[in-house]
Chains A and B, each alone.
Chain A
Amino acid sequence: GENVEQHPSTLSVQEGDSAVIKCTYSDSASNYFPWYKQELGKRPQLIIDIRSNVGEKKDQRIAVTLNKTAKHFSLHITETQPEDSAVYFCAASRGGATNKLIFGTGTLLAVQP
């Protein structure tokens, strides 16, 4: 069945360093790839998304890249800050009315001050 693999499961970086989280999807018809950030005890919140007609999207310190051929996409956070510490989930969807989001298993990012 469809699945999304996410790596690493935990990531610890020093404040100011960059962090990269990678996801691989199995359904080649997927065309929408959101990333969610979930702080401890809070709801998942969308931080950035990308559609399959572009290869990269950037929003301040956050960027997402997509390689459709290899079926993988990555989240890049530059100049990390302690408030970036959270669990990050990638997801993939083939769109359409049902728009079923398949989530990765999450990455716990810890930014050390």
Chain B
Amino acid sequence: EAQVTQNPRYLITVTGKKLTVTCSQNMNHEYMSWYRQDPGLGLRQIYYSMNVEVTDKGDVPEGYKVSRKEKRNFPLILESPSPNQTSLYFCASRPQGDTWSNQPQHFGDGTRLSIL
């Protein structure tokens, strides 16, 4: 089954304790992206990756890191989490597409992070 898998689904942790949220897709998609979802703000892009070893900042990258060592995996790293990073996080992937033919994104099930 084609899917985007995130882990963990839920995490409660404390300020300053490094954490990693994993994301894996089995569709051989080139493009992967991380979003955070907050009430009243919709989905905001944190980082994205167009292919292996190619990553770039989205709209709200502060406090986050990513890596793309393999095509299928795109982990989100919070080196020193703070309470303002408490949010619902989604990973998404899609084929690269060409200039005209945009491809819809497939989302994971989400990770709810609470930073105390």
Chain A residues in the interface with B (C-beta under 8 A): 6, 9, 31-32, 34, 42-46, 49, 51, 89, 93, 95-101, 103-106
Residues of chain B with a CB closer than 8 A to A99's CB: 31, 94, 97, 102-103
Residues of chain A with a CB closer than 8 A to B94's CB: 99
Contact (A105, B99) CB under 8 Å given A42-B109, A43-B90: no
* A-B complex: 7 closest residue pairs judged by Cβ atoms: A32-B102, A43-B107, A105-B42, A103-B43, A103-B42, A46-B104, A95-B102
Cβ–Cβ contact A51 & B102, under 8 A: yes
B61 proximal to A (CB < 8 A): no
Residues of chain A with a CB closer than 8 A to B44's CB: 103
Q: Which residue in A96, A100, A104 is a CB contact (below 8 Å) of B48?
A: A100
Interface residues on B, range: 20 to 34
Closest to A105 in B: B42
Closest chain-A Cβ to B87's Cβ sits at a distance in Å of 14
Cβ–Cβ contact A44 & B43, under 8 A: yes
Residues of chain A with a CB closer than 8 A to B45's CB: 100-101
Closest chain-A Cβ to B12's Cβ sits at a distance in Å of 17
Residues of chain A with a CB closer than 8 A to B35's CB: 103
9 A–B pairs (Cβ distance < 8 Å), ordered by A = A34-B105, A42-B109, A43-B90, A93-B102, A97-B96, A97-B99, A98-B50, A99-B97, A103-B42
How far is B44's CA from A31's CA once the two chains are assembled, in angstroms?
A: 19
How far is B97's CA from A97's CA once the two chains are assembled, in angstroms?
A: 7
- Beyond A89-B42, A101-B45, 7 additional contacts (C-beta under 8 Å) are A43-B90, A93-B102, A95-B97, A99-B94, A100-B48, A101-B105, A106-B42
Closest chain-B Cβ to A88's Cβ sits at a distance in Å of 11
Q: Which residue in B31, B40, B48, B109 is a CB contact (below 8 Å) of A105?
A: B40
Closest to B56 in A: A98
Closest chain-B Cβ to A103's Cβ sits at a distance in Å of 4
Cβ–Cβ contact A97 & B100, under 8 A: no
Contact (A44, B42) CB under 8 Å given A98-B50, A101-B105: no
B41 proximal to A (CB < 8 A): yes
Cβ–Cβ contact B41 & A43, under 8 A: no
Closest chain-A Cβ to B79's Cβ sits at a distance in Å of 24
